[in-house]
């Protein structure tokens, strides 16, 4: 009985969530890059909620600087991965060479 009540309650809440309609619009000023957005929520009982949000975006120069920073970050990661892989290969080679020297040293002593 409890499970049926819980399922009905869940269905009621999910149905009311679908009943709300949300409309979101975004505009961007091409000269400055400033963005503004407006959200309009139309609820199931007919009420409307409007939220406006505006924030300044990056200028074109700021976006280029940001992109450059991201490119440098990515290049650093690539370089780090390559260096790590090379060090691992070198370490494995040295370990293998050390074992070979150890084996030949035993043969000479015996």
What phi-psi label fits residue 93: left (phi over 0), alpha (psi between -120 and 50 degrees) or beta?
alpha
**Which tops the pLDDT comparison, 92 or 24?**
92
In a domain, 81, yes or no: yes
The predicted structure's pLDDT at residue 105: 62
Q: Are residues 44 and 76 in the same domain?
A: no
Same domain, 66 and 50: no
- Give yes or no: residues 65 and 95 share one domain: yes
Q: How many structural domains comprise the chain?
A: 2
Q: Give a yes or no: residue 69 inside a domain.
A: yes
Beta bridge pairs of residue 25: 38
Same domain, yes or no, for 29 and 43?
yes
Classify the phi-psi angles of 46: left when phi > 0, otherwise alpha if psi is within -120 to 50, otherwise beta: left
Of the candidate ranges 62-66, 101-105, 106-110, the one whose mean pLDDT is the lowest: 106-110
48 and 68, same domain (yes or no): no
In this structure, the answer to whether residues 42 and 69 fall within a common structural domain is no
**pTM of the full predicted structure?**
0.36
Contacts of 68 (CB under 8 A, 6+ apart): none
If we measure between CA atoms, which residue out of 20, 27, 98, 101 comes closest to residue 57?
27
- Asked if residue 11 is part of any domain, the answer here is no
What pLDDT digit, counting tens, does each position of 8-30 carry?
A: 666 666 555 555 566 666 666 66
Shared domain check, 77 and 95:
yes
Residue 94 and residue 75 share a domain: yes
Which two structure tokens, joined as six digits, stand for 97? 């060479």
Per DSSP, what are the bridge partners of residue 35?
28, 55
pLDDT of residue 28: 65
Residues 69 and 105 in one domain: yes
Give the structural domain span for 32. Answer: 23-55
pLDDT digit string, tens, across residues 32-84: 566 677 787 887 887 888 777 766 667 778 888 889 999 999 999 999 999 99
């Amino acid at each position: 009985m409890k499970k049926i009540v819980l399922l009905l309650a869940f269905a009621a809440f999910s149905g009311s969530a679908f009943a709300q309609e949300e409309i979101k619009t975004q505009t961007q000023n091409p000269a400055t890059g400033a963005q503004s957005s407006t959200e309009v929520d139309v609820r199931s009982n007919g009420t409307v909620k409007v939220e406006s949000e505006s924030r300044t975006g990056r200028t074109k120069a700021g976006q280029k600087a940001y992109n450059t920073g991201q490119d440098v970050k990515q290049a650093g990661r690539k370089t780090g991965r390559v260096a790590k892989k090379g060090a691992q290969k070198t370490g494995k080679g040295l370990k293998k060479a050390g074992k070979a020297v150890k084996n030949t040293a035993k043969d000479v002593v015996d």
